[in-house]
Structure 1
């Protein structure tokens, strides 16, 4: 416990991030002060939002500064504590940054109960992706029994949970994913009512077939042509929860024109962007529900755990933007 492997932002990428955009260095392990604890990370979360966090310009949080530790969630164990609520050996998860060791005062950290789910699930289904799916669908999407819910990136960390929670709440769930394997997974394993392979099928035609009564809730993770297609099939007073626009994160050209913008007016749609931090004061409520559904076998988590340690961080991160991951992408340290 003498060296801390750290990923720091070196420069801002123009498109896909690469190894050249980061400094991966060894530094002294920090010491916790009064009211703080030191944690050692075992898993680092790879999330689509990371590309936005290193882009310049105004966003919902300030961009990671050049030279700063890369922002990120991780899960591990407390190795030293001066904090009254955390003891040595406690499993923890939180926004600790992309590094092997981190000091925390407990803000944006939780104790991870590994009797409920493996440690890596606490940065997945019981972490930010789970909270995002829960609040995005139930609060922003205001899903109700009998609704038809469509979710893009449906086999991913957030989308796979959205569809399952929709089913728990008595709604129909239709997922849009890339490739036959992912589409079969969300239907056969997760219980979605239908799936659309955007790589091989006409999304609009499939929506017409699978959603004969049109769409009440659309959970948006992608943007681009898929968003255009879905907007054309929304019901009157439908709700669109805009969680992400991953199709645009590395784009060098303007995004496709929103050709179905008129649908927002004609169908009086409620289109709302949201960030999981908007509901932070209710995280305990969400975690209680998510953990209960998981324990009952009604909510399944799929982790895509990659090896290679922090040196592999830039390459593994880019799997999110090429469709190379299957489930919640996690880097094992």
Structure 2
């Protein structure tokens, strides 16, 4: 049983997901949270991670650290997306297990499921078919993490659980047009076009794929729920259970940003998976569901973007 004074290590605590989890736990009164940036602790370095576990001995680990990006980044840097994620999660999972950490929350992505899996995506669709080629490198790494946590749970009875969120967005997101996901990229594109006399905005693909989006603060609340409860199974989808087309998303963001120009669709660019809707029945039955609407979430994310636009850096690869 994790108490408010147990030592909880949040890997990736400076990122969008990790910082939201930190804030959510702190708001609930957890007083022994620890985190290190990549300069202080390189999670790809097995020796450094081993030394960390020797010194800190956390009671719980939340793995929100990963090499992430959209279709373009996954396509251009397949080796980094595969190998760096394997190194990060293997070092954390194995280090936590060997040093007596009893509770571990592993965060992944809906891209672990087969490209043509039945919709909505259920947890038992894992490993039943080929992955989406544009992000298979990241997906394979995350599948390995899920199975490692399942193996520890099965063999040693530890509370190692995997949460698979759908597409995330929110404050502290990545707005770099070369590496960001679709929603923050659209916010930036529409904003820049608005301040450039409402110039046309060109978006990738046909606009027909269906996507589901979860505000990062909702994910953080799901993690708090998993901290405070021993979930009976090893893998849970985390999402809203609702989706919309990319074209509908574009129109919604365009409206929230106030862009009045034309939207152009570049159908020579890949669409990615036709649909990715999560079946969130298991989390609902466990006692948790999302609460932030997409309209509310986009509005608050654009507001955060406007207040932090001078500090948004381009990501170097």
Q: TM-score, normalised by structure 1?
A: 0.27
Give the structure with the larger strand fraction: 1
Q: TM-score, normalised by structure 2?
A: 0.28
Give the structure with the larger helix fraction: 2
